Amino acid sequence: MGDLKDILPINKWFDELSSKPLIIAGPCSAESEKQVIETALEIASNNSANIFRSGVWKPRTRPGNFEGVGLKGLKWLQKVKEETGLLVTTEVATVEHIKMCLDHNIDILWVGARTTSNPFSVQELANACKGIDIPIMIKNPINPDTELWIGAIERFHSAGIKKLAAIHRGFYPFEQTKLRNLPKWEIPIELKSRFNNLPIICDPSHISGSTEFISEISQKAIDLNFDGLMIETHNNPMLALSDAKQQITPKELDNLLTNLVIRHYLEENGKLEMYRHQIDSIDTQMLELLSQRMDIISEIGKYKKKENITIFQLRRWENIIKTRTKTGQSLNLNKDFIIELLQLVHKESISKQNKILNK
């Protein structure tokens, strides 16, 4: 387990694919034959995508919402293949889904984030794929668990699937942010650094949750040398039955791809750049956490002013130094570095509270 060296790179999936990025586009859900065919024809006419995507079964958090059209949607995808020549892909979550997709000549299958989070479900799907030569794309689990993501990929690999790809769709945030899901770029970067051949495709639609950020997220993914993009595209997003806010029109897709800057990848500099992007992502998170810490410090300052409490609390400071140093050393951080960092943060905290108490 864990040896994924014989996974085929994306250009070995499709002989006709001469350059990156691979573009997968189509609506979040197949809603009607007219909607699917019209969207596919427009995407194909612009030469915007290599693969047409559409969800046929839609796992929803609560029942009663639109949950997909099921089997008849597969017939619409067959018609897309006939009329456009595009390859087609859809999400599978059960063994029965896989059987129906194979019966309808669906070219590529993908496993959703909820399913990836459950190893029992993944294993059932992997077992159903034994002896089948079909590409499988696996979305990251809902929570930022790299090993769980790798484990799902390994299960399909152990079943004999060599055409595998990871889809980065971001991770569920526990607090409200401007994005639907946190990208946490360092996680797919780690995945790529551990398994060089593994294609990684970014899903900017689910990371963004809004059309406002799709272009920005797409460019970031391309800058990080991702192998492709999966972008939700609908012929009339305002009428979409699911995820209307994050779907763009085929024309908008064409404009996005036209303005996308495709950068050259230099192997001799690739590893260094990969590490630098990891550092950039982690630094951003560090700064966001420090900002949150200072917001709490401000609330503490207000409380101390109200209750007439001194700023410096010796026992609390001694406890911080003791516990944080112990934690940091367990994480292989230098003791002196930890203390200097804590002192710097403490100095800023005292300054902030001093301003509040002496307004």
Residues 6+ apart with CB under 8 A from 143: 117, 171, 172
Which amino acid is residue 173, in one-letter code? P
Would you state the structure tokens that stand for residue 359, as one six-digit string? Answer: 């307004």
Supply φ then ψ for residue 346, to 5 degrees.
Answer: -65, -40
**pLDDT at residue number 18:** 54
pLDDT in tens, 109-158: 999 999 999 999 999 999 999 999 899 999 999 999 999 999 999 999 99
Q: What phi-psi label fits residue 108: left (phi over 0), alpha (psi between -120 and 50 degrees) or beta?
A: beta
Average pLDDT on 1-26 reads 76
**pLDDT at residue number 326:** 94
CB atoms within 10 A of CB 17: 15
Mean pLDDT of all residues belonging to the chain:
91
Domains of the chain listed by start with CATH number: 10-265 (3.20.20.70), 268-357 (1.20.59.10)
**pLDDT at residue number 6:** 83
Q: What angle do CA 170, 6, 142 make, to 5 degrees?
A: 15
SS3 at position 86? coil
Total residue count of the chain as it appears in this document: 359
pLDDT in tens, 74-103: 999 999 999 999 999 999 999 999 999 999
pLDDT in tens, 237-266: 999 999 999 999 999 999 999 999 987 666
